[in-house]
Amino acid sequence: MRDSGPARGRQRWRWAGRWLPEFRHPSQVVVAGFAAVIAIGTVLLSLPVAKAGPGGATIVEALFTATSAVCVTGLIVVDTGSYWTGFGELVITGLIQVGGFGFMTMATLLVMVVTRRIGLRSRLSVATETRALGLGDIRSVVVGVAKITVLFEVILAAILVARLAGSYGHPIGEAIRLGAFHSISSFNNAGFSLHQDNLIGYNQDPWILLPIAAGFICGGLGFPVLLELRRQFRRVQQWSLHTKLTVTVTAILLVGGFAFVLASEWRNPATLANMSMPDRLLNAFFNSATTRTAGFNSLEVGDLTHGTWLGMVVLMFIGGGSAGTAGGIKVTTFALLFFVIVAEIRGERSVTVFDRQVGARVQRQALTIALLGVAGIVVATLVLTELTDHSLDQLLFETASAFGTVGLSTGITTDLPTAGQVVIILLMFFGRLGPITLASALAIRERGRLYELPEGRPIIG
């Protein structure tokens, strides 16, 4: 039942005899929806049937795991393969799938809402530069995301099952269990693994690591990019600005991250130094690519050098593509800020990217998202320094991983006190939903000013 209350004309919904606030903004629906899924997952994982052994999981263990799964992060406080029963693993798999599929769908729908709510001139500009988002209606969005998700996950699962059954001697049932779980976890950039050492046991097997890497790289590109690449893969000149930026910056970060990890860990006897050349190249690539919010690791993160940790923090903060399964501030945000700096250094009046001029409003949005992301990581790190005795570099790595929904850890997650784990839970939720909801809210709130104030020039620098 819907009624209008006297308080400032706000409308509320009446359900079960109670008055509930109406969600008046699309981003509120996304946040509420994901919170509801996390709540359901927490209840299911708290049941005794979800935990191996007597009793049930504690509320913090269940909440942390459910949040990490829905936010496709991969940080854990208990070992996934041994702590949870088959029912618990099934719940986690479902939460990962809902989190990845739901976020891709909701993010794309939010973009469609934004393009219809902004002014006509801006709408035409957006339509020109994001042709992949001209999807017609909600049904085509949902069906499109579902087809792409199922296609990638089935192909990846088939490769993994064949390898696990053929080369590792797993029974077909166990191979299907492992292959399907890691396939879903990979494409959704979740980083959950049923192995206690994650993927370290496969660090010499390219037939396991490379397909998983391909899964989380493709999932991290985002649905709009995947759809456009499917339609016109070879017609690069006709790609939208969004696709060009996402693909180009992703390729640069993959190559740059690979070179950085290889150089930084080359002489580290705990990681790459004692490996053969092919294995060094394989693990340097995999462990640099996984920082793009995937969360898998084939090397022990705690054994990496502190310089490698710092470089990985930067990559985790940047993240992957928009409207995809990856987190972070997104590669388009990072690229746009880079071009803003270049334009300012050159003294240019406008910012141009691939022969397109980028408006001041989009620049402000990118700056806002980046700075709020920095603020979230800094605040969480400061709180954790007061709650724990871990070193600053470990805590910074942990918070960057949580915000970027990566899931990598130096091994301190289980050692955090309950209050510290709650901080990580909040940061995972903010890192997953904050950028897209904030971006859509900023775009929809755009208003034209009927007057201009005198220009001021404060001293900068």
The pLDDT value given to residue 6: 44
Q: Please name which of 232, 224, 281, 285 lies closest in space to residue 254, comparing C-alpha atoms.
A: 285
**Pairwise CA distance, residues 115 & 108, whole Å:** 11
Q: Could you tell me if residue 78 is inside a domain? A: yes
> Does the residue 11 lie in any domain?
no
12 located within any domain: no
Q: b/e per residue, 312-328, with b = 16+ CB within 10 A?
A: bbebbbbbbbbbbbbbb
Half-sphere exposure of 62 (CA within 13 A, CB side): 22
The predicted structure's pLDDT at residue 218: 93
Give me the domain span that covers residue 167: 20-444
Residue 459 forms part of a structural domain: no
**Cβ atoms 291, 312 nearer than 8 A:** yes
Nearest one of 111, 45, 94, 67 to 430, comparing CA atoms: 67
Structural domains of the chain, count: 1
Residue 297: left if φ>0, alpha if ψ -120 to 50, beta else—which one?
Answer: beta
What pLDDT, on the 0 to 100 scale, is given for residue 201? Answer: 95
pLDDT of residue 446: 55
Residue 461 included in any domain: no
Residue 196 resides in a domain: yes
Per-residue pLDDT tens listing for the chain (461 residues) = 444 444 444 444 444 444 445 555 666 677 778 888 999 999 999 999 999 988 899 999 999 999 999 999 999 999 999 999 999 999 999 999 988 887 667 656 555 555 554 444 444 344 433 444 454 556 676 777 888 889 999 999 999 999 999 999 999 999 999 999 999 999 999 999 999 999 999 999 999 999 999 999 999 998 888 888 888 888 888 888 889 999 999 999 999 999 999 999 999 999 999 999 999 999 999 999 999 889 999 999 999 999 999 999 999 999 998 877 888 999 999 999 999 999 999 999 899 998 888 888 889 888 988 998 999 999 999 999 999 999 999 999 999 999 999 999 999 999 999 999 999 999 999 988 876 666 665 555 555 566 777 877 787 66
Taking alpha carbons only, the member of 302, 327, 297 closest to residue 315 is 327
The predicted pLDDT at position 70 comes to 93
Residue 460 lies in a domain: no
pTM: 0.86
In a domain, 348, yes or no: yes
CB 368 within 8 A of CB 400: no
